[in-house]
Amino acid sequence: MKGKNLDKTLSDIKTKTDTAQALLVFGATGDLAQRMLLPSLYGLHCDGLLPPGLGVIGSSRSALEASAFRARVAESLARYLPAERLADANVQAFLSRLQYVPVNVAEGGGFAALQAALGEQGGTGKLAIFLSTAPSLFSAAINGLREAGLAHEGVRLALEKPLGHDLHSSQAINDAVLDAFPEERTFRIDHYLGKETVQNLLALRFGNQLFEPLWNAAAIDHVQITVAETVGLEGRIDFYDGMGALRDMVQNHMLQLLALVAMEPPAKYDAAAVRDEKVKVLRSLRPIDRAMVTTHSVLGQYGPGAVGGAPVAGYADELGAATTTETFVALKAHVDNWRWKGVPFYLRTGKRLPVRQSEILVQFKPVPHSIFDERSGGLVANKLLIKLQPEENIRLLVMVKEPGLGRNVRLREVPLDLSLSAAFAGQRQRIAYERLLLDFINGDPTLFVRRDEVEAQWQWIDAIRDGWAYHGMTPKRYTAGSWGPSSAIALTERDGVSWHD
């Protein structure tokens, strides 16, 4: 960010009374903190977006000196960020913000030292505390904070997923948090909400007159949401095998995308209005229950195959045991309200698919009557393709006349491309956590997930899992590097729809 924009953001920060004076990161030596959180904070620091006096205290079980922690962070910056962003003066200035206090959360040791390190700020100041630890430690961390006087009304808490494995366990976690931190001071992270293109969905829908009048069942045939990954288990054995794709990806990221596509216009861009509209969508999702689950869901698990030309092992081989965990899921969902009556939302996500690609396809209906005869080559209904990653672009497919003097009009589908990377060339692509950490430090909860949203998400997911268990549905094998089991193709083809690959 440059010039005027940066100045504006800085002045916003300076005038915010809710800005934290210190940021505490639990789990600071862990993978998420080292790979995402600290590099994101570094990015904010370099752009002058962190409040000048903001101290960052890292904490974890390891008994490290602050200097050793800083050295570890310097190594991570070098590993995860391009060399040209690592000017020595910037790195040193960033590292000088960092302190380290070892805390054994499970045994309650170290909280007093933490409080001492915070000094006056600990007692009354504005603090932002990020729990980047295993959820099994949340309760202990919250108790420790409360006992150390670090849960007062100036303190806010950010939590990373997984927040439970079903509605019941998620409620237990939320209750434990609520004991010390009321909802308005609880910031639940879904890192997809920090992605630029995801936020762009709101700009596209509500910043343009063009789309909203057509954004309903009268003009839209169906919506497809795909989050395809090429990676496999990535050494996350304990975590992933207990989760599966439905809970790891659909319960959170994909349902948030669906909510943003389907929501009614909020009255304004603020936390209450946006989240009120999202939760209405989530509550309007038709349950995929025992009666529907066999026809509305497909689950798969990858076997050996090849991705990007390289041979890869099957999931069970990576895991070292046979298991019924799904690494792929495809669903046909419905939002039962006026706007979306009869419009299917097809969702699919999986590991070891042929490409890394996240996108939303809005398929419009054909024009009611074609004035062109068969010599035109026929009309193709419009599509809006919103690509979230790896590249960010928005493409509208429209019909145009092929140039030429022939007597018959020949039509062709041509893309109208909005390449965000080209339109905003020169701006670096930010890590999703930069946006989220900045909002967390400033106390803006708009892009964080409210408890009622999480619970509506779980309720819908639990019904699907109940159906799978009831019918004894287990994952169908697919070859790594393919687009999932053939039944996923049948799921849409039955409706005359093809997945957009």
Q: How far is the CB of 248 from ligand BG6 (least distance, A)?
A: 5
Which of residues 193 and 396 has its CB atom nearest to ligand BG6 in the complex?
A: 193
Question: What type of residue sits at position 474?
Answer: T
Cα–Cα distance for residue pair 501/491, rounded to 1 Å:
15
Q: Does the protein bind ligand BG6 through residue 248 (CB under 6 A)?
A: yes
Measure CA of the first residue to CA of the last residue in the chain; give whole Å: 34
What residue ranges in 233-281 does DSSP mark as E strands? none
Per-position DSSP letters for 171-208, written without gaps between them: HHHHHHHHHHS-GGGEEE--GGGGSHHHHHHHHHHHS-
Which class for 62: exposed (0-12), middle (13-18), buried (19 or more C-beta within 10 A)?
middle
Strand partners, 100: 58
Cα–Cα distance for residue pair 77/103, rounded to 1 Å:
23
Binding mask 47-76 vs ligand BG6 (x if CB under 6 A, - otherwise)? ------------------------------
Which of residues 20 and 201 has its CB atom nearest to ligand BG6 in the complex?
A: 201
In the range 336-355, which residues lie near ligand BG6 by CB under 6 A?
none
Q: How far is the CB of 232 from ligand BG6 (least distance, A)?
A: 10
Cα–Cα distance for residue pair 293/462, rounded to 1 Å:
12
Those residues whose C-beta lies under 8 Å from the C-beta of residue 352, and which sit 6 or more positions away, are: 229, 230, 231, 232, 302, 305, 307, 312, 315, 327, 480, 481
Q: Does the protein bind ligand BG6 through residue 326 (CB under 6 A)?
A: no
Which of residues 243 and 385 has its CB atom nearest to ligand BG6 in the complex?
A: 243
Question: What type of residue sits at position 352?
Answer: R
User: Token pair 């020595």 is at which residue?
Assistant: 88
Binding mask 196-235 vs ligand BG6 (x if CB under 6 A, - otherwise)? ---------------------------------x------
Which of residues 155 and 312 has its CB atom nearest to ligand BG6 in the complex?
A: 312
Which of residues 127 and 329 has its CB atom nearest to ligand BG6 in the complex?
A: 329
426: left (phi over 0), alpha (psi -120 to 50) or beta: left
Q: What share of the chain is helix, strand, coil (3-state, %, to 5)?
A: 40, 20, 35
Report which residue's Cβ sits closest to ligand BG6: 248
3-class SS of residue 417? strand
Q: How far is the CB of 235 from ligand BG6 (least distance, A)?
A: 12
Which of residues 229 and 392 has its CB atom nearest to ligand BG6 in the complex?
A: 229
Q: How far is the CB of 72 from ligand BG6 (least distance, A)?
A: 23
Strand partners, 269: none
Q: How far is the CB of 132 from ligand BG6 (least distance, A)?
A: 13
Q: Measured in whole angstroms, how far is the alpha carbon of residue 479 from the centre of its chain?
A: 26
Q: Does the protein bind ligand BG6 through residue 318 (CB under 6 A)?
A: no
Q: Is the peptide bond before 475 cis (omega within 30 degrees of 0)?
A: no
Which of residues 221 and 392 has its CB atom nearest to ligand BG6 in the complex?
A: 392
Which of residues 99 and 358 has its CB atom nearest to ligand BG6 in the complex?
A: 358
Phi, psi of 363 (to 5 degrees): -95, 115
H or E element in which residue 476 lies: strand 476-479
Which of residues 229 and 439 has its CB atom nearest to ligand BG6 in the complex?
A: 229
In this structure, the dihedral spanned by the alpha carbons of residues 163, 169, 174 and 179, taken in order and rounded to 10 degrees, is -130
Secondary structure letter of residue 348 according to DSSP: E
Query: Angle CA(311)–CA(315)–CA(321) in degrees, nearest 5?
Result: 125
Q: Which of 45, 222, 253, 296 is an active site residue? A: 253
How many chain residues bind ligand BG6 (CB under 6 A)?
Answer: 2
Q: How far is the CB of 484 from ligand BG6 (least distance, A)?
A: 16
Q: How far is the CB of 465 from ligand BG6 (least distance, A)?
A: 17
Q: How far is the CB of 318 from ligand BG6 (least distance, A)?
A: 14
> Annotated catalytic, 45?
no
Q: How far is the CB of 256 from ligand BG6 (least distance, A)?
A: 11
Question: Which residues are part of the catalytic machinery?
Answer: 253
Site residues for ligand BG6 per CB under 6 A: 229, 248
